[in-house]
Chains A and B, each alone.
Chain A
Amino acid sequence: MHMDKLTSCSPRLLAESLSGKRLLEEEILLPEKCFQVLLSTKQLISIPAIENQKGSAKCIRCGNTSAHYFSEYPCGICQRKHLYCRRCIQMGRISECKPLYIWNGAEVHWPNHPNPLTWEGKLTPAQSNAAAQLEQAVNEKLPACLCWAVCGAGKSEMLFPAITAALKQGKRIALASPRVDVIRELFPRLEQAFQDVTIEALYGGSEHQAGKSQLILATTHQLMRYYQAFDVLIIDEVDAFPFYLDKSLMYAAKQAAKKQSTTLYLTATPRKNFRLQMKLGKLPHVFVPLRYHGHLLPVPKLKLSFHLSSQLANKKLPAAFRKWLMNRQNHQRQLLIFVPKISMIEELKEAITLLLLQTGAISTTEELQAVYAADKDREAKIIQFRNRELHALITTTILERGVTFPSVDVVVLDAGHEVFNEAALVQIAGRAGRSADDPSGEVIFFHDGKTDPMEKARQMILDMNERGRKL
């Protein structure tokens, strides 16, 4: 996030670009003179970037405290050894040698927008119920509110009333997600919905941004540069990453929000600690149990297949899979096949191709492709699949969320594998039945022994459908 070169040091511009942040000197693109003036007048003050007390260190920017994310280098400037943080090094190295700077000058007053919403769509009853509660949380300055919305509920629209309320009151808002896809997808939609408000999207690769707008969209990493900046913080897909990354998101969120602020959480699969807080009545929350098209979620079927994992290891496919392929309800639907490991993609691709050819699911080998995280053609293959140029796609958990295909059947091979936790399985099941034209779609978990996550995922979906039926 580099600032535009601030040739004129107008006080308002300075405050807008520097307030609410903690930056390294190299991130403050000011003429040296101007920087020195700000320091000597205490409008900028420096704080240590690494706290190191009694041998336990903490990176002030990313909150890292684990020893194996710290390392040392012998400093050629001061001839001493310095700790540096390896966890957030992609954003410029945080070390004991260089301080962070925080703004201590005039406060910024963000404009009140009397009528910022330019979106003219309509929310479904389930959406507007949730939207009203989120709006209320902002108006009543509640510290937090969680929206538990099923996959495909249409959550961005649900945020519009809360964002509108905040903008009316001249508040500063950030929407953060651990997933860059989410930020990229939401940005144009928010620009459309709030056409007169300055909005910026910050993610790796969008680097040349000042980050000084009233409404900021940011990935977790980008959020780390902010400090007591936002009145309203919205965290989307709060559960989208493994726990340790979650922890850094939570740290960044806590640091970026003002002391008096409202945090809104959006998720389809809240973690245990959130569910516990909800149960104990400590976290205000709202459910959106129905999809925007008003249909219930497809419920996963658990299919037992003995010796499944050893069969897969020998590049053999379970008979149950063949049987299901022959008898599936709707052969027009595309097939999304999840496997637990990248290595299995290569091992099984041939066998799956053969089986799909034999059962007539595909007519040429080109109609099946495979994707994984490091695949260079990942985007292209996903687009091909969305355009129905491919009939079947084998994938790792990278496609578990964030992607929408209108009409698919979803298969998980070896659903008992440890990578498929409860949240992942709920998200995977959430890929089916996304469009109003084909709201059902089959979801099949092939396994060789039921696991807790499978049962719990199924139960979570059944519970949501139960709530949905009552609406």
Chain B
Amino acid sequence: MNYCVYCYERIENSLTWSTWLTVEKSQALCASCAGKLEMISGKRCKVCSRAWSSSICLDCQQWRELGDNIERNYSIFHYNDTIREIITQWKFRGDYLLREIFRNELKSAFENQFANNNASLTIVPIPLSESRMQERGFNQSLALAEMLDAPVKQVLRRKSGEKQAKKNRKARLKRDNPFSITEPLKQAALIVDDIYTTGTTVRQAAQLLRLHGCPAVYSLTIARS
């Protein structure tokens, strides 16, 4: 018997010819919870994945003028109330199992967006501070990275433990780079994380990677806020 990992409703898998004949992907969410997640579809900024009618959004144009250090970010879902609640329970309450909600979509986004064009991508998770690790016991970024079929290298380290969620955009952009690098990475890197908000975190990580010889940095995130 399958239960929705989020609401514990029973998941009923109807047996049809197609489900019988094909190996079905296991579902983490019931239809009702799954229906509350919104995939980003239609036109989007080709750099940051925000829903956008022309090719590059204003923010990304600005990043480009300043000399951007990421190739592009791909996000899967719109950051709505449901995904916010799911991520809160997953990350802050420490409900590790909830990463399963993202497994199928994360894998197919990786395969469609990144795996084909670039065979030698190394996945780099965003590191967690020591104090966060003490509280939570796992790094959500690493938890996502480990669901993908590619080598994972934890080459970044966080200098101090500040809560990102509590900061406004200005403070986040202004701050010094919170990461340090433990070994240089010579292949292209894919940063995997939960939310892309201003893109600062990804770019700070990318800045360090590029500085130490990484040829290109991409990013794959669950939600675009």
| Residues of A near any B CB (own CB < 8 A) | 26, 68, 71-77, 82, 84, 86, 89-90, 92-93, 95, 97
Contact = CB atoms under 8 A, between A and B. Distances in A.
Contacts of B133: 76-77
B137 A26 contact: no
Interface residues of B, number: 16
A82 B137 contact: yes
B134 interface: yes
A72 B135 CA distance: 16
B169 interface: no
Interface string B124-144: 000010000111011100100
B138 A89 contact: no
Contacts of B142: 76
A74 B139 CA distance: 10
A89 B137 contact: no
Contacts of B183: none
A92 B93 CA distance: 6
Name which of A74, A75, A76 has the most chain B CB atoms within 10 A of its CB.
A76
Contacts of B97: 71, 73, 86
A42 B3 CA distance: 43
Contacts of A77: 133-134, 137
Contacts of A74: 96, 138
B178 interface: no
A84 B133 CA distance: 16
A73 B137 contact: yes
A394 B94 CA distance: 39
Given A68-B3, A89-B89, A76 B139 contact: yes
Contacts of A97: 137
Nearest to B94: A93
B93 A73 contact: no
Contacts of A90: 93
8 contacts: A71-B97, A72-B96, A73-B138, A84-B95, A89-B94, A89-B95, A90-B93, A95-B137
Nearest to A26: B135
A76 B89 contact: no
A68 B5 CA distance: 9
B138 A75 contact: yes
Interface in B54-93: 89, 93
B138 A93 contact: no
A26 B137 CA distance: 13
Given A68-B3, A89-B89, A73 B94 contact: yes
Given A73-B137, A76-B133, 15 more contacts: A68-B3, A71-B95, A74-B96, A74-B138, A76-B137, A76-B138, A77-B137, A82-B137, A86-B95, A89-B89, A89-B93, A90-B93, A93-B94, A93-B95, A95-B137
Contacts of B135: 26
A95 B95 CA distance: 11
Name which of A89, A90, A93, A97 has the most chain B CB atoms within 10 A of its CB.
A93
A86 B6 CA distance: 10
**The 5 nearest A-B residue pairs measured at CB:** A73-B96, A71-B97, A93-B94, A75-B137, A76-B133
B3 A93 contact: no
Contacts of B8: 68
Contacts of B95: 71, 84, 86, 89, 93
B3 A71 contact: no
Given A76-B128, A76-B133, A89-B89, A71 B138 contact: no
A307 to B, nearest CB: 26
B94 A84 contact: yes
A71 B93 contact: no
A247 to B, nearest CB: 15
Contacts of A75: 137-138
B96 A84 contact: yes
B23 to A, nearest CB: 23
Nearest to A72: B96
A119 B197 CA distance: 56
Interface in B122-166: 128, 133-135, 137-139, 142
B137 to A, nearest CB: 5
Nearest to A74: B138
Given A76-B133, A95-B137, A71 B96 contact: yes
Contacts of B134: 77
